[in-house]
Structure 1
Amino acid sequence: MAGRVRENGDSRLTGRGRATRERILTAAADMMYVKGVALTTLDDVRAASGTSKSQLYRHYPDKDALMRDVVALRAAEVLERQHQHLQRLSSFRGLERWRDALIERNALHNGAYGCPLGSLASELADQDEEVRRAMARHFAAWEGLLEAGLARMRDSGVLRADADVSGLATGLMAALQGGYLLAQTARDVEPMRIALDMAIAHVKAHAAPAGEAPPEVGAGVR
């Protein structure tokens, strides 16, 4: 995964060089998730990755460059997991399984560190415009996976034909990110569970009446 973060910079690296850069990036991503970006120094990353100062600065001349690759790495990891969970979403039970997977993963640390992507956004969105724009794209992609699943539910007759799948996806994402934050401050995933349950209940309120036929292909239902 890390080797795909900066493809343009990989072409002239040896295998050993790519391994060193990946080790640096992985160490930085782990430390920034646990300690936060502001409290993670390049010296911390150097020590954690077992690299020399010259090796570190050869790959990352400053913290900003490292931080941007950490954002790209975390986004790739999060979106890959979300794609696995949401690519076949087509039912309310599928939404509940998605919720359960998120909560179970966050419960590993009692919700202590928040969303791997959202925690970075909260620290960096006001500090670096390039990172803010990248974050916006990543969250839009995540929300798009939800919207696509809800659209399948609408098109198959699980949701009403007039269901606003874009708005419902935004509501689910807002509940998820708010739930992450509440779980982080409480050190308890129960607030996250409640927030997601309420958002899913709102989606269920748009269920198609029993016996309602799904819209015909090409009927123009959005």
Structure 2
Amino acid sequence: MITRQADSALDTGEPRVAALDSFDALRAWADAAIERQRENDCRGDCSLGSLAGELSTKDEESRTDIADGFLRWKDMILNGLRAMRDRGELRDGTDLDELAFALLSALQGGVLLSQTMRHVQPLEASMNAALAYLRSFAMGI
């Protein structure tokens, strides 16, 4: 079930992470996540995140499976960041793993706070901050 939830987020329904290989694509991904929260009245929308909250402290096998799902999401983001670096859009030496985790953490933390507060502001703030951090590694800055 956990693997299916992780895979379904990559395939359909969730903000797309498969083609996050430009600043515009990342902004569209963030905007899509924010819009999904607006559309569902900030009622969550991350099944894997919900499972993490419920199972990660109770069952080691489930925690490992959930972590693997999040790592696959992070790797999808990382692939896009690598493409940006390879095209010269990000400075050499940029820690792409850190940036991928920052973007994923901004999404997950923002969704959790938005769900709890029933307002999109936390998600907007976290995604805007993560994208601003990413831009600080752009070539020419």
Structure 1 residue 109, shift from structure 2 partner: 1.8
Counterparts of residues 1-222 of structure 1 (less than 5 Å)? 69=1, 71-81=2-12, 85-209=16-140
Q: Would you say the 8 A contact 1:114–1:181 is kept in 2?
A: no
Identity within the alignment, %? 38
Aligned-partner Cα distance in 2 for 1:146–1:82:
17
Q: Which of 1 and 2 has higher RCO (CA within 8 Å, sep 6+)?
A: 2
Aligned-partner Cα distance in 1 for 2:35–2:15:
16
Cα 1:176–1:83 change in 2 (3 A) is closer
Unpaired segments of 5 or more residues in structure 2? none
Structure 1 residue 123, shift from structure 2 partner: 0.7
TM-score, scaled relative to structure 2: 0.91
TM-score, scaled relative to structure 1: 0.59
Q: Would you say the 8 A contact 2:21–2:79 is kept in 1?
A: no
Structure 1 residue 81, shift from structure 2 partner: 3.4
Runs ≥4 in structure 1, deviation > 3 angstroms? Answer: 81-84
Aligned-partner Cα distance in 1 for 2:8–2:37:
15
Unpaired segments of 5 or more residues in structure 1? 1-68, 211-222
Aligned-partner Cα distance in 2 for 1:107–1:87:
23
Cα 1:76–1:90 change in 2 (3 A) is closer
Larger Rg, first or second structure (1 or 2): 1
Aligned-partner Cα distance in 1 for 2:6–2:17:
16
Aligned-partner Cα distance in 1 for 2:18–2:44:
26
Aligned-partner Cα distance in 1 for 2:44–2:101:
23
Aligned residues: 141
